[in-house]
A and B are shown apart, each in its own frame.
Chain A
């Protein structure tokens, strides 16, 4: 149990377009979901925390207007990279919290390449 999926697993887009990434908890309701970004040979950096039905909380230095997060239900959070540029190319990973469990459950990640 406690499976988190992401879609798509990889995406290539042109500079200036917007890309939406979905994160779903498949067999549990996620109290909170988190979005991370990882550049090559670097650590996972937390971008934002989202709770169902409320605005996401962004980490310092993360542009909220560029990385739109919508947490529409207890099983779905979406990250939209707006007007993507080559420097947004990265590995985006979501994770989810489950009530009463300290472990975070990670999705398989989405690799974004902006040309």
Chain B
């Protein structure tokens, strides 16, 4: 089953923060986060493995709650370049990567 992302869309002003959530009805081994800009292939942001870890680089971080089968992507002090569609991907170990429906993020000046 496809993981469920929320919200479906969000509009921010530069410098504001945002959280994108991803939940799965199935047990997960890993959660993958991607950002896609219009007309381009998705770009890998980060992967979180089961164990409840949190990761981040620069002003983008993510958490993974294995028990709740949920992951959240945190964008702080958003920049114009953060605009795009964010996808989470849910995967069993070595298995298929199934993507959520996407969250469209628009950052305005």
* Interfacial chain A residues near B100, Cβ < 8 Å: 43
- How many chain B residues touch A (CB < 8 A): the figure is 22
User: Pick the contact of B42 from A34, A42, A102, A106 — CB < 8 Å?
Assistant: A106
**Among B29, B96, B102, contact of A43 (Cβ-Cβ < 8 Å):** B102
Residues in B neighbouring A43, C-beta threshold 8 A: 2, 87, 99-102
Considering the chains assembled together, what is the distance between the CA atoms of A69 and B98 in angstroms?
Answer: 19
A105 partner residues in chain B, CB cutoff 8 A: 44
Name the interface residues of B70-109: CB closer than 8 Å to any CB of A: 87, 89, 91, 93-94, 96-102
Q: In this assembly, does B60 line the interface, its C-beta being within 8 Å of a C-beta of chain A? A: no
Q: List A contacts of B44 (CB < 8 A).
A: 103, 105-106
- Cα A102 to Cα B95 in complex, Å, equals 9
Asked whether any CB of chain A lies closer than 8 Å to the CB of B35, the reply is no
Q: Is A113 an interface residue (CB 8 A)?
A: no
Q: Which of chain A's residues 74-115 have a Cβ closer than 8 Å to chain B? A: 93, 95, 97, 102-109
Q: Please report the total number of A residues contacting B with Cβ < 8 Å.
A: 18
Chain B residues lying within 8 Å of A46, measured Cβ to Cβ, are 96-99
**CB <8 Å contact, A44 and B42:** yes
CA distance A53 to B97 in the complex (A): 21
CB distance from A61 to the nearest CB of B (A): 13
What are the 9 A-B residue pairs with the smallest beta carbon separation, nearest first? A109-B41, A44-B99, A108-B41, A43-B99, A43-B101, A102-B30, A43-B102, A103-B47, A104-B97
B interface residues with partner A (beta carbon < 8 Å)? 2, 29-30, 32, 40-42, 44, 47, 49, 87, 89, 91, 93-94, 96-102
> A-side interface residues toward B, CB under 8 Å?
34, 42-46, 49, 93, 95, 97, 102-109
Instruction: Give 12 CB contacts A-B under 8 Å.
Output: A34-B97, A43-B101, A43-B102, A46-B97, A46-B99, A102-B47, A102-B91, A104-B32, A104-B89, A104-B97, A108-B40, A109-B41
| Known A42-B101, A43-B102, A106-B42; 4 more pairs at CB < 8 Å | A44-B99, A97-B94, A102-B93, A103-B44
